[in-house]
Amino acid sequence: MFRIGLSKNMGHHLTGVLLCVLCFSWAARVARADGAVYAMTNALGVNEIQVYHRAANGNLSIVQTIATGGGGSGLQLSAVDSLGSAGSLRLDEDHHLLFAVNTESAAENNGVGTYNTDCQQGTITSFMVASNGTLTFADRVFLADCFPTVSPL
């Protein structure tokens, strides 16, 4: 048997410290399993973000629906991504900001309020992300592109 030269008292303290470290690391791993999932409706007229709470067991429950202030294309351009892989939703590296792409096909079109059938411009909406994953509208920027993309940050 290999033995490190520790007193019996020090060995008990070391064991206690190791148990605490293991418990805290397990708790941190479980806490990271919980989180938020974001989905965009891409609805023609009123594009919305749906916020879901993801439990540690993977179950999803909707906690918020928030308008982007823009419109979606209303089209399904591909089977898995209604904006044709335009990077339609992007969370920043620190998980403090969420960016959403709007095609403005039927949105307010820069305040004019007309129906824009040929989709001359798009917008990117930003949201602040709360610690519980819910969103608060921050800003919307108009772009001269119908299908703008959100590049990795």
pLDDT per residue over 2-60, tens digit each?
A: 444 445 554 444 444 444 433 433 333 333 335 899 988 877 778 899 999 999 898 99
Print the domain residue range for 66.
34-143
pLDDT given at position 30: 33
Same domain, yes or no: 9 and 55? no
Q: Are 100 and 49 in contact (CB under 8 A)?
A: yes
Considering the domain boundaries, does residue 98 fall inside one? yes
**Cβ neighbours of residue 48 under 8 Å, at least 6 residues apart?**
40, 41, 65, 66, 67, 68
Considering the domain boundaries, does residue 149 fall inside one? no
Same domain, yes or no: 23 and 48? no
**Cβ neighbours of residue 65 under 8 Å, at least 6 residues apart?**
48, 49, 50, 51
Number of structural domains found in the chain: 2
**Cα end-to-end distance, the chain, whole Å:** 54
With H, G, I as helix, E, B as strand and everything else as coil, classify residue 16.
helix
- Dihedral sign computed on CA atoms, order 81, 87, 91, 93: positive
Same domain, yes or no: 50 and 14? no
pLDDT per residue over 99-118, tens digit each?
A: 988 876 444 444 444 444 44
More confident residue, 92 or 18: 92
Strands (E), 41-152: 48-54, 60-67, 89-91, 97-102, 122-129, 135-143
Considering the domain boundaries, does residue 151 fall inside one? no
